[in-house]
């Protein structure tokens, strides 16, 4: 295809990815926790079973990441995202008719989780990775701010549905939004700049990946393959760090309303809604702060983010009013937002574009498998002790350990196959 001059479509991809990510995942992800009180009553659920459903949902949309990596290479990102959004829409429509635990599993966990996994998190980040190199961190950070912008509106909208309609009607709205996202993906997504005769960052020629090892400037991070990367110690360390930012956030989102409500800290429903709205909103600042990964070490940003999250978790155990409440959720929101984007930038910087979908998909699978148990275990702790404080303490410790792991993890350098070939060349 002849090269197209003029407008760089990558800027449109940022906007398209923003819409698809924000509207594709935020309404469903945050609504499960916001509808918690009524879902537990109407469907006769325990806190543990409610938590395990949330964990299973997270597991499914994470576990499907390797499937996305395969499908996007076989059928394009565009068609994979379109199919995923259609599947999500069908699942959330089914959820609007739920009257049992099994219905939640079919509609929310299986259909909704699969659809979201194929249409939102990894696909949107892969688009940013594919279209940008010099501005990679900033492009991914901007796309992922959608989770904060759209997510911040969810608690208020859900509260309106609970007061004026029902959670069933809320899921109907979410289903309709997902259907619209299928149309947007099919019409506007383009996988790579090369597909339309352009190059990353709008350059005149294909920009080369920077070296992951300053001592070997000719070595490009793009030569890493996913299987090679997955076998490194750096991959294992960053998996631990990834769990440290993601698991606490999931538990706060899914169980936070129950923790702060009448059966927990006793805060009013209005204050809880406002705290959640603010917590999700400030993730935008956290996500944008991760764009500094284009200028300074994203590992240092990631470590600082995890420490912020730990501080907020400790504070959330002692909230009695709005002041400490807002301080705690601000810290959690900033920490999660920065960590959420930074880890993707670290993986991209460590292993390059070629390995990105495979390494990130595997990270999601491992994280989702472990994360499946966390919300359920937190619910069991609350059922047996009457409090989430033990769970929050353990999560704060996990954040601190993850921060140290991220900060001290060295870059992997060149992949082993390239190092072997260089050694042979020197010997010759």
Q: What is the DSSP string of 144-208?
A: HTHHHHHHHHHHHHHHHHHHHS-HHHHHHHHHHHHHHHHHHHHHH--S-GGGGT--GGG-SSPPP
- Burial class of residue 389, CB neighbours in 10 A (0-12, 13-18, 19+): middle
Q: What is the mean pLDDT of residues 329-356?
A: 84
Residues in contact with 186: Cβ distance below 8 Å, sequence separation at least 6, in sequence order: 78, 79, 82
User: What predicted TM-score, i.e. pTM, was given to this entire model?
Assistant: 0.72
* Higher pLDDT, residue 264 or 278: 278
pLDDT of res. 207: 66
Q: Does domain 9-415 have CATH number 1.20.1250.20?
A: yes
89 band by pLDDT with thresholds 50, 70 and 90: very high
8-state DSSP, 221: G
Q: What is the predicted pLDDT for the residue at 279?
A: 92
| Model pLDDT, residue 295 | 66
129 CB contacts (<8 Å, ≥6 apart)? 136, 140, 344, 348, 353, 356
Q: What is the pLDDT of residues 367-392, one digit of tens each?
A: 878 878 888 888 888 888 888 889 99
Question: What was the pLDDT predicted at 148?
Answer: 80
Query: What does the pLDDT read at residue 361?
Result: 74
* Confidence at residue 341, expressed as pLDDT on a 0 to 100 scale: 80
- Which range in 56-60, 129-133, 289-293 is most confidently predicted, on average pLDDT? 56-60
pLDDT, tens only, 179-190: 999 999 999 999
What is the residue-averaged pLDDT of the chain? 84
Mean per-residue pLDDT, 18-23 = 94
What pLDDT, on the 0 to 100 scale, is given for residue 209? 56
Residues with Cβ within 8 Å of 46's Cβ and at least 6 positions away in sequence, in order, are 40, 379, 383
Q: Where are the alpha helices (DSSP H) in 9-145?
A: 9-34, 36-42, 47-63, 65-75, 77-95, 101-104, 113-119, 121-131, 136-144
Higher pLDDT, 353 or 58: 58
CB-CB contact of 109 with 129 (8 Å): no
In angstroms, the CA 292 to CA 277 distance is 25
For position 222, what pLDDT does the model report?
47
User: Which pLDDT tens digit goes with each residue over 273-291?
Assistant: 899 989 988 888 887 776 6
Q: How far apart are CA 238 and CA 342, in angstroms?
A: 11
């Amino acid at each position: 295809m002849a090269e197209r001059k003029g407008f760089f479509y990558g800027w449109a991809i940022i906007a398209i990815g923003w819409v698809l990510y924000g509207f594709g995942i935020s309404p469903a992800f945050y609504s499960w926790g916001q509808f918690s009180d009524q879902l537990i009553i109407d469907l006769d659920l325990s806190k543990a079973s409610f938590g395990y459903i949330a964990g299973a949902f997270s597991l499914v949309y994470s576990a499907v990441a390797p499937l996305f990596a395969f499908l996007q290479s076989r059928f394009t990102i565009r068609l994979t995202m379109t199919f995923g959004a259609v599947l999500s829409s069908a699942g959330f429509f089914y959820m609007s008719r739920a009257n049992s635990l099994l219905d939640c599993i079919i509609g929310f966990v299986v259909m909704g989780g699969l659809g979201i996994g194929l249409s939102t998190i990894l696909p949107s980040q892969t688009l940013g990775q594919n279209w940008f190199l010099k501005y990679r961190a900033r492009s991914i950070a901007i796309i992922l701010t959608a989770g904060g912008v759209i997510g911040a509106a969810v608690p208020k909208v859900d509260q309106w549905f609970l007061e004026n309609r029902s959670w069933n009607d809320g899921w109907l709205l979410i289903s309709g939004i997902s259907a619209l996202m299928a149309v947007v993906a099919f019409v506007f997504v383009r996988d790579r700049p090369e597909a339309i005769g352009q190059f990353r960052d709008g350059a005149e020629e294909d920009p080369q990946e920077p070296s992951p090892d300053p001592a070997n400037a000719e070595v490009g991070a793009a030569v890493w393959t996913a299987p090679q990367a997955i076998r490194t110690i750096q991959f294992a360390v960053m998996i631990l760090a990834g769990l440290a930012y993601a698991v606490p956030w999931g538990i706060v989102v899914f169980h936070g309303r129950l923790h702060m409500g009448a059966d927990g800290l006793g805060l009013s429903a209005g204050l809880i809604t406002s705290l959640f709205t603010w917590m999700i909103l400030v993730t935008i600042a956290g996500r944008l702060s991760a764009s500094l990964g284009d200028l300074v070490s994203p590992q240092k940003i990631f470590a600082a983010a995890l420490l912020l999250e730990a501080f907020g978790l400790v504070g959330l155990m002692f909230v009695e009013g709005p002041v400490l409440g807002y301080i705690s959720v601000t810290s959690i929101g900033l920490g999660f937002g920065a960590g959420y984007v930074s880890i993707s930038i670290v993986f991209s910087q460590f292993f390059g574009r070629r390995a990105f979908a495979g390494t990130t998909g595997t990270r999601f699978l491992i994280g989702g498998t472990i994360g499946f148990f966390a919300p359920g275990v937190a619910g069991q702790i609350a059922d047996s002790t009457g409090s989430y404080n033990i769970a929050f303490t353990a999560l704060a410790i996990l954040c601190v350990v993850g921060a140290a792991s991220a900060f001290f993890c060295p870059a992997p350098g060149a992949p082993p196959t390239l190092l072997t070939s260089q050694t042979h060349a020197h010997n010759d």
